[in-house]
Chains A and B, each alone.
Chain A
Amino acid sequence: MSEPTLKVAGLRTHFFTRHGVVKAVDGVSFTVEPGKILGLVGESGSGKTMTGFSIIGLVDPPGRIVEGEIRLKGRDLRALAPAEWQAVRGDRIAMIFQDPMMTLNPVLRVDTQMIEAVRAHAAVSAEAARERAREALVRVGIPSPDERLVAYPHQFSGGMRQRVAIAIALINKPDLVIADEPTTALDVTIQGQILAEVQKLCRESGTALIWITHDLAVIAGLADEVCVMYAGKIVERGTVNQVLDSPLHPYTRGLLDSVPSRNRPGAPLRQIPGMTPSLLRLPEGCAFRERCARATETCLSEPPLYPLGDRQVRCFHPIHAEDEEPVV
Chain B
Amino acid sequence: MLVFVIRRLMQSVVVLFVMSLLVFVGVFAIGNPVDILINPNADQEDIERAIRGLGLDKPLWEQYLVFLKQAALGDLGKSFAFNVPALQLILERMPATLELATAAMLIAIVLGLPLGLWAGLKPDSFAGKTIMAGSILGFSLPTFWVGLMLIMVFSVYLGWLPSNGRGPTTELFGIPVSFLSWDGIKHLIMPATNLALFKLSLIIRLTRAGTREALLQDYVKFARAKGLSNTRVVGVHVLKNILIPIVTVIGLEFGSVIAFAIVTETIFAWPGMGKLIIDSINVLDRPVIVAYLLIIVTLFIVINLVVDVLYSVLDPRVRLADAKA
- B225 contacts A152, C-beta separation under 8 Å: no
Check B226 against A120 for contact (C-beta < 8 Å).
Answer: yes
| Neighbour of A168 across the interface among B218, B226, B236, B241, CB < 8 A | B226
Which of B219, B229, B241, B244 is within 8 Å of A103, CB to CB? B219
Whether a CB of chain B sits under 8 angstroms from the CB of A209 is no
Cβ B218 vs Cβ A91 within 8 A:
no
The reply to whether the CB of A88 lies closer than 8 angstroms to some CB of chain B is: yes
Total inter-chain residue pairs, C-beta < 8 Å: 78
Residues of B within 8 A of A154 (CB): 316-317, 320
Task: Report the minimum CB–CB distance from B216 to chain A (whole Å).
Answer: 9
Whether A230 sits at the interface, judged by CB under 8 Å, is no
CB closest residue in chain B, given A152:
B316
Residues of chain A within 8 A (CB-CB) of B217 are: 102
CB pair B225–A107 under 8 Å, yes or no, is no
- In the complex, whether B78 has a CB less than 8 A from a CB of chain A is no
Q: If A120-B227, A152-B316 touch, does A104 touch B222 (CB 8 Å cutoff)? A: yes
Say whether, besides A97-B221, A102-B217, A107 and B227 are in contact (CB < 8 Å): no
B224 contacts A by Cβ under 8 Å: yes
Q: In the bound complex, what is the Cα–Cα distance between A247 and B219 (angstroms)?
A: 38
Asked if A116 and B232 sit within 8 Å, CB to CB, the answer is yes
Interface members, chain A 69-104 (any B CB < 8 Å): 85-91, 94-95, 97, 99, 102-104
Interface string of B307-323 (1 = CB under 8 A from A): 00000000111001000
**Do B317 and A90 touch across chains, with their CB atoms under 8 A apart?**
no
List A contacts of B225 (CB < 8 A): 56, 58, 89-90, 94-95, 97
Question: Is B52 engaged at the interface, CB distance under 8 Å to the other chain?
Answer: no
CA distance A86 to B225 in the complex (A): 8
A119 nearest CB across to chain B (Å): 9
Task: Tell yes or no: A117 within 8 A of B by CB.
Answer: yes
Given that A107-B315, A154-B317, A155-B320 are contacting pairs, would A87 and B227 also be in contact in the complex, using a CB cutoff of 8 Å? yes
User: Any chain B CB within 8 A of the CB of A301?
Assistant: no
Cβ of B18 < 8 Å from any Cβ of A?
no
Type the 1/0 row for B210-242, where 1 means its CB is closer than 8 Å to any CB of A: 000000011101111111110010001100110
Given contacts A89-B224, A90-B228, contact A104 B317 (CB under 8 A): no
- Taking a contact as CB atoms under 8 Å apart, the answer to whether B228 and A116 are in contact is yes
Q: How large is the interface on B (under 10, 10 to 19, 20 to 34, 35 or more residues)?
A: 20 to 34
Closest residue of chain A to B241, judged by CB?
A107
| Bound Cα distance from A105 to B233, whole angstroms | 11
- Which residue from chain A places its CB closest to the CB of B217 in the assembled complex? A102
Report the minimal beta-carbon distance from B227 to chain A, rounded to whole angstroms: 3
Q: Which residues of A contact B241 (CB under 8 A)?
A: 105-107
Q: Mark B189-223, 1 if CB is under 8 A from A, else 0.
A: 00000000000000000000000000001110111
Assess whether B218 is in contact with A103, with CB atoms less than 8 Å apart: yes
Contacts of A121 in B (CB 8 A): 227
Cross-chain contact A152 with B320 (CB below 8 angstroms) = yes
Interface contact B218-A58, CB-CB below 8 Å: no
Least CB distance, A173 to chain B, in whole angstroms: 14
B236 surroundings in chain A (CB, below 8 A):
108, 116
Cβ B317 vs Cβ A152 within 8 A = yes
- The B91-123 residues at the A interface (CB cut-off 8 A) are none
Residue in A97, A104, A120, A152 whose CB lies within 8 Å of B228: A120
Q: Is the CB of A86 within 8 A of B316?
A: no
When distances are taken between beta carbons in the complex, the residues of chain A under 8 Å from B221 are 58, 97, 103
The residue of chain A having its C-beta at the shortest distance from the C-beta of B232 within the complex is A116
Q: CA A95 – CA B236 in complex, angstroms?
A: 20
Checking B224, B228, B232, B244 against A107 with a beta-carbon cut-off of 8 angstroms, the contacting residue is: B244
Contact yes or no, A102 B226, CB < 8 A: no
Residue of A nearest to B229 (CB): A86
Q: Is B226 a contact of A105 with CB atoms below 8 Å?
A: no
Residues of A within 8 A of B223 (CB): 105
CB distance from B242 to the nearest CB of A (A): 10
Do the beta carbons of A107 and B316 come within 8 Å of each other?
yes
Q: Which residue of B lies closest to A101 (CB)?
A: B218
Cβ of B186 to closest chain A Cβ, rounded Å: 42
CB pair B222 A97 closer than 8 Å: yes
Known interface pairs A90-B225, A95-B225, A120-B227; A105-B316 also in contact (CB < 8 Å): no
A-side contacts of B227, CB under 8 Å:
85-91, 117, 120-121
Could you mark each residue 273-306 of chain B with 1 if its beta carbon is under 8 Å from any beta carbon of chain A, else 0?
0000000000000000000000000000000000
As a 0/1 sequence over residues 163 to 199 of chain A, the CB contacts with chain B under 8 angstroms (1 = contact) are: 0010010000000000000000000000000000000
Closest 9 CB pairs of A and B: A90-B227, A90-B226, A89-B227, A102-B218, A103-B222, A105-B219, A95-B225, A117-B226, A152-B316
**B interface vs A, CB < 8 Å?**
217-219, 221-229, 232, 236-237, 240-241, 244, 315-317, 320
What are 13 A-to-B residue pairs whose CB atoms are below 8 Å? Answer: A58-B224, A58-B225, A89-B225, A102-B219, A103-B222, A105-B219, A105-B240, A106-B219, A117-B227, A117-B228, A120-B227, A120-B228, A168-B226
Taking A90-B227, A103-B219, A152-B316 as given, write out 6 further A-B residue pairs in contact, using a Cβ cutoff of 8 Å, ordered by the A residue number: A105-B219, A117-B227, A120-B227, A120-B229, A152-B317, A154-B316
